[in-house]
Chains A and B, each alone.
Chain A
Amino acid sequence: MNDKKANNLIVIENGQLKVYPLDDKVEWEVGRSSPNNVPDIRFHSVTVSRKHGKFQNMDGMWFYIDYNGKNGTVYNHRHLEKGLRGNVKPVPLGDGDVFVFGGGREEVINHKTVWCMFCEKEVEENWRVNDSKGFSKLSFVSGGKTNVFTGPEKGTVVKGENGIAIYMGDLTYVSGDMQVIGEN
């Protein structure tokens, strides 16, 4: 990963990881596709509303605006609530911000909900998927340094100098100079 700046959204839904380069559009609608409605970032989970929210670029700064769907959105472990007038305030985004769509207040992460991360650096194209099911202890090795987690939570992101790993329970997504070693 070089330090070129580019805004990307990493989406993990039902085991599949996808990266959206956000800079080429000013607005990205988020939701579940239906015959009348094709959002720019499409989810298939039924837990996500058809019009769930949108990512918007305002003069170079990225924001997320939630449409207050049924199962809500959790941003950096905080559930986005609507304000006095019934609208949810736009949230300015920074590098590493994490979203969970459709997981309700409890931020449930499973195959029916969608996990996303906003990145301000260029993200590599090639992602590897590791089977991390059943391990109680995981070591993340990058650039000669090791980080050990015992019983990590789903959605844990480990960043190395040139690599990144996203632990999602049964699967761990790895890119760049990063290696995952698990043990019982």
Chain B
Amino acid sequence: MFGADRSETEKVLLQLEDLFFTVNGEQFGFVKNNGHLCLLGTGATSNVYEMYGATAPDRHYALKVIGFGDKDPDHSFVRRVFRVQHALSELSENIVRVIALWVIKLSFDEQGKILRIVRDTEDGFDDLDGYLFEMILMEKLENIISKDRYGNVEPLRKDLADEAGVIRFAIELGEALLAVHRNNFLHRDIKLENVFWDEQNGRYKLGDFGIVRATDNGNAETVVFTNGYGAPEIEKRLQDSYDITADIYSYGITLYLLLNDFAFPGSDSYRPSIVQYEKDFVFPAPKNASPKMAAIVRKMCSYRPCDRYRSVDEVLAQIRGLTDQDDSGSEACPSGSVYDAEAETYAGDPATVTFRETTVSEADEGEESDEVEESDVWEESDKVEESDVWEESDEYISEEGVDYNGYDLSIWDKDESELTYEEKKYMAAILKEEYNKRMVLETVVASLLFFLLFVSMSKSADRAGSWMIWTLPAVMVTECILQKIGTFHIGFGMISCALYIWSAVTLGCDALQVAMICVTLVGLPVLSAGCAAGAGLWIAYALFGNTGWLSFLNEYETGFIFMIALAGVFADLIRQKIFYAVPISRHDYALTAVMLDILPYTLFGAGLILWILGLFDIFSLPAVESIHPVKTGIGIFIVKILFNWQIGKIKELLTEEINHK
């Protein structure tokens, strides 16, 4: 608000009173209380003051003042809203009349006195500096509810206490809404606070067309409320645009509140409950409504727009129909003593307990038809197909929508918001199962790769006799199991690394120890398991077989290929975590950064430097050169590119799904 200070606004308005407010020659003045303006109401962006007309000082009006300070919003919008409401109020007696709209810019001197008033009708208004004021003069009407600062609501009209009064309210509100819709507008803000009572003419009026929108083809774009009156398709942004059925929902909620002691459906107060917007929530009947009225209101508030009434015409026809019918009287009851007596036992001898035929005329019809269809009568027994027989199953499972794994795939097509809790759990369980299956595959591949890596890099097959070497795979296996369980990871990892370093010192540093240390630090269960299995295999071969046939790997220094492949396995693991929506820890992020970002550049760079140094015979490290750092660096870089491409595809898939809704 202007200067965030109401008294500032008041001072401005008082000045304007003398200078400005004239409509068709009629002067308007403010109603005052001890020199202060009488404030009728206040909203987020506006205040409403009471005014009177000079020609008939008893007739009062409301001036809605929207001040924007020095901001400059689209004031042509306000003009449009005014024109709409003005036109509609001419067409329907149930719409609040607007009398004048003033859009002005003011400039002040240092004492706050108005220097200049410029109307928006004058040239160059848009470019002018000054404080913008928008004011709408409309007829002053009474509110129908009062809200205290805790949000509790009291009705101000005794009429609204019974259903007959609510029906009358509904019809008048319906007429107003009909006029709006017939002229291709949507109101979009129907609520109890926007309906007023005209004491002079004795009718209800719909007002505050603050956000009315024109519809060209029956639809409007989306603006979101969060006040419990908005239709689900708007609140949840399920659709790009919406139509008059959204107004019907709000209209229905308004009636629901009047019949339910001002409590929203599924709530016990004037604060809406989230359960109201769940797809499966069946609205309870409003407490004070007759069943027929309850049926109408509940249909107006259906979750899906197609289940509601198509137009306000239909609603009005149904509501009017209520007053025409006679409620069928209660069922007559024979005065025979049997019916008035206490309950008797069911096992009684028919001779003693007389169960008389009812002579009552039932007011309500039965729901079933009595015909017995001859075709349902028993047929020959060989028609029963024995192969399909099973005992006592509760539900039939549909044939479609089931894939080879036995999952019901139909739930994947549903919108997120439409899934029940059960279905969400089911989806999560399927994803987890699929992820686990892939993990097993990865483990096998990783262990094979590790085995080949060791063979290609190691030259010390004969150390297998030493017991110390057995500690390594044992430690690895335990470590990867504990990782899976998720406990003691950090501590055990540190102990494991210490053991590896010790064995390196005692046995001599070898590929096995280095690889183990790396794998422990990596901390992915699959790689640990793979490494353990690989180490075991290597030892087995060393002990029992001969690795001679694999020695070519050593000769041709093919180790780097396996290192690249391992990086590939690692990248694939992370990708799968993303794809199957398994939570990714910060550890994983750090790891991905090291493996796929730092490592390739480091290897490539180091390899390049070593090669240059080797060229000039300055320095060489044969051990490092045997893993071909340059080639490895390039290889892992390629893996990284592939990984990013895959992630990009997953993201595309996800955004496609979201946009598709």
**A residues engaging B (CB < 8 A)?**
4-7, 16-19, 23-26, 32-35, 38, 42, 44-50, 57-60, 69-71, 102-104, 108, 110, 112-113, 120, 125-131, 135, 139, 142-143, 145-149, 159-161, 173-174, 179-183
Contact = CB atoms under 8 A, between A and B. Distances in A.
Given A48-B343, A131-B377, A161-B396, A173 B368 contact: yes
B343 A34 contact: no
Q: Which of B331, B333, B381 has the most CB of A within 10 A?
A: B333
A19 B364 CA distance: 11
Given A24-B298, A35-B333, A59-B268, A110 B369 contact: no
Given A5-B282, A57-B285, A147-B393, A34 B340 contact: yes
Given A24-B291, A60-B281, A102-B343, 18 more contacts: A18-B367, A25-B285, A34-B333, A34-B339, A46-B338, A46-B344, A47-B345, A60-B282, A69-B343, A104-B345, A110-B346, A128-B368, A128-B369, A131-B372, A161-B398, A174-B376, A181-B379, A181-B383
A47 B298 contact: no
Contacts of B307: 4
Interface stretch (B126-134, B384-392, B591-599): B384-392
B473 to A, nearest CB: 54
A133 B307 CA distance: 42
B174 interface: no
A182 B384 CA distance: 10
B373 A128 contact: yes
Given A38-B331, A130-B372, A24 B384 contact: no
The interface size bin for chain B is 35 or more
Contact of A60 (B284, B340, B393): B284
B238 interface: no
Interface string B253-275: 00000000000011110000101
B413 interface: no
Nearest to A113: B346
A17 B366 contact: yes
A56 B381 CA distance: 46
Given A42-B331, A131-B372, A147-B390, A33 B339 contact: yes
A19 B385 CA distance: 33
A82 B395 CA distance: 34
A180 B371 CA distance: 15
Contacts of A5: 280, 282
Contacts of A128: 368-369, 371-373, 376
B200 to A, nearest CB: 38
B113 interface: no
A49 to B, nearest CB: 5
Contacts of A126: 368-369
Contacts of A145: 388, 396
A108 B294 contact: no
Contact of B342 (A23, A70, A131, A135): A70
Contacts of B396: 142-143, 145, 159-161
B71 interface: no
A26 B273 CA distance: 18
Interface string B130-141: 000000000000
Nearest to B307: A4
Contact of A148 (B343, B369, B389): B389
Nearest to A49: B343
B422 interface: no
Interface of B: 265-268, 273, 275, 280-287, 291-292, 294-295, 298, 307, 330-331, 333, 335, 338-347, 353, 355, 358, 366-373, 376-379, 381, 383-385, 388-396, 398
Contacts of A143: 396
5 contacts: A24-B292, A46-B344, A59-B275, A139-B384, A181-B376
A102 B346 contact: yes
Contacts of A159: 394-396
Contacts of A131: 372, 377
A46 B377 contact: no
Contacts of A139: 384
Nearest to A126: B369
B282 A6 contact: yes
Given A25-B294, A70-B343, A139-B384, A16 B366 contact: yes
A127 B388 contact: no
Q: Which of B346, B390, B395 has the most CB of A within 10 A?
A: B346
B265 A60 contact: yes
Contacts of A127: 367-369
Nearest to A70: B343
Nearest to A6: B282
Nearest to B384: A139
B333 A33 contact: yes
A19 B367 contact: yes
A58 B345 CA distance: 33
Contacts of A50: 343
Q: Which of B342, B344, B378, B390 has the most CB of A within 10 A?
A: B378
Contact of A47 (B335, B344, B370, B379): B344
Contacts of B381: 183
A17 B367 contact: yes
A119 to B, nearest CB: 12
A183 B378 contact: yes
A110 B384 CA distance: 30
Contacts of B372: 128-131
Contacts of B338: 46
B295 A46 contact: no
B346 A148 contact: no
Contacts of B273: 59
Contacts of A48: 343
A161 B333 CA distance: 41
A131 B342 CA distance: 33
Contacts of A148: 384, 389, 391
B539 to A, nearest CB: 57
A42 B282 CA distance: 24
B368 A24 contact: no
Contact of A135 (B369, B378, B391): B378
B367 A47 contact: no
B284 A59 contact: yes
B19 to A, nearest CB: 56
A25 B291 contact: yes
A160 B282 CA distance: 23
A60 B283 contact: yes
Nearest to A112: B346
Contacts of B285: 23-26, 57
B291 A146 contact: no
B385 A24 contact: no
Q: Which of B284, B286, B292, B371 has the most CB of A within 10 A?
A: B284
Contacts of A38: 330-331, 333
Contact of A129 (B331, B341, B370): B370
A181 B284 contact: no
Contacts of A125: 367
Nearest to A57: B284
A130 B377 contact: yes
Contacts of A46: 338-339, 341, 343-344, 353, 355
